[in-house]
Amino acid sequence: MHKLIRHSLCAAAGAAAVAAAAAPPDAVVRQPLALDGYLALSGPAPGKRIAYGAAPSQFVELFTPAGPGPHPVVVLIHGGCWTVQFGGIGQMRNMAGALTAQGIAVWNVEYRRYDEPGGGYPGMYQDVASAVDLLRQEAASSALDLERIVAVGHSAGGHLAQWAVSRHKLPAWSPAWVPQPLKIGTVISLGGLADLRNEAALIRRTCDRETAQIAGTPSALRPDVFSDTSPAEMLPAGVRTILIHGEHDDISPTVTGENYARRARAAGDAAEVLVLPGGSHYDEVSADSKSWVIVGAQIRKALGI
């Protein structure tokens, strides 16, 4: 179980009690969203569910707005510490519903986590690659505009979203390599954990995950397990990266994004960091939170809306 999440829930409950006692009777006290609030997030059912493999987790959900299109597209990749324990795709329907209401199509990606048969390395990466590239087949029939597209990932999904837009930098020996991956020029990482090498201690402390569970084990042909799994090792990718962190995000604190942005800019890529005032790791993906004003605006900006 997520060590730091458990601490956060207890701390949040205590803080809420203190704030409620100090506030006027008619005041509404908004606390940062905690894990239980995140797990309760929901949204509308997708218009389509499309399988890209035979495993139960190999599918995508398509949400399309009203109107003839072509519609701009958000590729949405959920987090959850790379495990099945913390939900994922269902919670992202909250964002998907809000985006669809604004005329934006959403490609909500499910994938095999490390603790599912065939997941981890390389299956998890192959799943994300297959799911993203499947957009090409669906674009015409669902009126999707692949010239206006942005990848958005949360937490572990931030890692996978940043990896997905960097796949053209994969070495040809990687099992996830494909000759012409779908080009996505901007990625928005919400509390992402994308530098697997330098953030290994943070990932162990907050997600209770070891490198081998996410990136596999070294071999003679692959001595560096980060070379085809960590976006930080695939720089420069020629993409624009927006790293958004809640002010109170203790799973992926702001310094995580700052470190990645510094490394990306040094390599020649465009990268910026934004902080959500009063936001937690979970407010980052809640369309009902104050943080959504900033997150939604960044998505629309990336799509040219």
pLDDT in tens, 1-39: 344 443 333 333 333 333 333 334 433 446 899 999 999
Cα 237–242–244 angle (5° rounding)?
140
Q: Give the tokens for residue 3.
A: 């060590």
Q: Give the tokens for residue 73.
A: 């597209």
> Which of 299, 303, 289 minimizes the C-alpha distance to 31?
289
Cβ proximity of 208 and 2 under 8 Å? yes
Cβ proximity of 170 and 179 under 8 Å? no
CA distance linking residue 161 with residue 272, whole number of Å:
16
3-state helix, strand, coil in the chain (%, to 5): 40, 15, 45
With a cut of 50, which residues of the chain have pLDDT below it?
Answer: 1-29
User: What is the predicted pLDDT for the residue at 30?
Assistant: 67
> Which of 94, 57, 80 minimizes the C-alpha distance to 1?
80
User: What is the predicted pLDDT for the residue at 87?
Assistant: 82
Is the domain spanning 35-216+224-302 CATH 3.40.50.1820? The answer is yes
In sign, the C-alpha dihedral spanning 275, 279, 285, 290 is negative
- Give buried/exposed letters for 157-182 (b at 16+ CB in 10 A, else e): bbbbbbbbbbbbbbeeebebbeeebb
DSSP 84: G
Q: What is the pTM of this model?
A: 0.90
Name residue 153's amino acid: G
CA distance linking residue 194 with residue 75, whole number of Å:
17
CA distance linking residue 164 with residue 174, whole number of Å:
14
- Give buried/exposed letters for 65-82 (b at 16+ CB in 10 A, else e): beeeebbbbbbbbbbbbb
Unique residue bearing structure tokens 């065939």: 118
Q: At 274, is the secondary structure helix, strand, or coil?
A: strand
Cβ proximity of 268 and 237 under 8 Å? no
User: What is the predicted pLDDT for the residue at 215?
Assistant: 97
